[in-house]
Structure 1
């Protein structure tokens, strides 16, 4: 991804209120959420989360209930996870996760927590509808390019976290780049936050594993923190599911 934004120097700007944020840590959280939500899970990925103690090291932020519950349930899931078991048992555990991911985000049939924004924002509840086109235009104007492993609507919640991953990496060294800050604000306020909380609420409600329940809660809390950090009020829109 690239962003064609002009960097502004410290001499031209007051110190950014975002300057105390550890954007490298934020980048890591966005990357975890991207990989958790964009595709079916694999054993190596889950084991990697356990090895890195993701649940234990996840920031507590404002000590919201979503945070403490998310860290608890994800931590409990990862604690009992092990790749060093009988192959049949490991395969069964992975299949259970894949089935949960499928019924939440992919199918067959209507996913319980459709991950594309246009389904929530447009009355017809179609994929690649008007709001998807608006997001693509926003990306085009700002020079955002995403390299996709497979064809996917651009308003998939997992892809939003991919864009945030790259944006936070830049904000680490360009926190006073007001064009980049404004890009982040518009992306969140107008294109992501209006519907993402609903998607994650459905994920938490319908998840059959503590893995996806924990991911949904931690993603919700992270977006709440970003809303606070960037001082945003999400665009007031009607949701159609």
Structure 2
């Protein structure tokens, strides 16, 4: 059976919301199942490109190694990696804000943050309301896409197409334009490799989704 646009939109929203949450908050005990290789072997989106496939393979291998650790040691290692990469005692080793990668002065709250804020207003979503972060945090950019996709699932077809076009433009202009640099920093500085692999998966999802939206718009 061919999925309807509403079903596809809700599926996309779920994937983006999951990835956004993973990047916005360190793992807590309720996310221990994500540190099991079975979770990534059964990831709800089958690899649609080599980037996704490689990232899922790495996540399976990394979590297989983590499973051999006693007690809560695996969770603590992933939590520590999150802190080192995205928070940092002095400064994060892989800062998750677009402005720091796309402004020559490496500004926090640079133009990309205001561009994402404008996009949130354009989509009619408030993805940043719950989190005390600049709007161009990668996790918030993903949450924006989740909220926009969920809202699009409720519209008539003309509204789907308008939203799909805006979402495709947003993906190209924002998360897909800088996630590769963030991923490289996470790979260079992450002691576990979990978040570099998660960012690789996110990059692959963004590439898949960009192609999906373009295919829909060209039909």
Q: Which of residues 59, 70, 75 is equivalent to 2:45?
A: 59
Corresponding residue for 2:213?
Answer: 230
Distance 2:47 2:94 in 1: 25
**For the structure 1 residues 50 and 27, does the alpha-carbon distance in structure 2 shift closer, same or farther, using more than 3 Å as the test?**
farther
Q: Is the 8 A contact 2:6 2:153 kept in 1?
A: no
> Under a length normalisation based on structure 2, what TM-score does the superposition of the two structures give?
0.80
Distance 2:123 2:148 in 1: 12
Unpaired segments of 5 or more residues in structure 2? none
Q: Is the 8 A contact 1:26 1:165 kept in 2?
A: yes
Corresponding residue for 2:146?
Answer: 165
Corresponding residue for 1:15?
Answer: none
Q: Is the 8 A contact 1:55 1:71 kept in 2?
A: yes
Residue 79 of structure 1 and its aligned partner are, at CA, apart by 4.3
For residues 7-30 of structure 1, give each alpha carbon's deviation from its aligned partner in whole angstroms, at most 9, with x where no partner exists: xxxxxxxxxxx9498333322221
> Under a length normalisation based on structure 1, what TM-score does the superposition of the two structures give?
0.74
Give the match's secondary structure for 2:45: coil
Matches within 5 A, 1:1-241: 19=5, 22-47=8-33, 50=36, 53-64=39-50, 66-79=51-64, 89-90=71-72, 92-146=73-127, 148-174=129-155, 176=157, 177=159, 178-231=161-214
User: Whose helix proportion is higher, 1 or 2?
Assistant: 2
Return structure 1 stretches of 4+ with deviation > 4 angstroms. 18-21, 48-52, 79-82
Distance 1:216 1:198 in 2: 10
Distance 1:221 1:24 in 2: 19
Distance 2:29 2:48 in 1: 31
Distance 1:166 1:20 in 2: 13
Whose relative contact order is higher, 1 or 2, with alpha carbons under 8 Å and at least 6 apart?
1
Give the match's secondary structure for 1:124: coil
Unpaired segments of 5 or more residues in structure 1? 1-17, 233-241
**For the structure 1 residues 224 and 50, does the alpha-carbon distance in structure 2 shift closer, same or farther, using more than 3 Å as the test?**
same
For residues 70-98 of structure 1, give each alpha carbon's deviation from its aligned partner in whole angstroms, at most 9, with x where no partner exists: 1122123444656xx96xx31x3322112
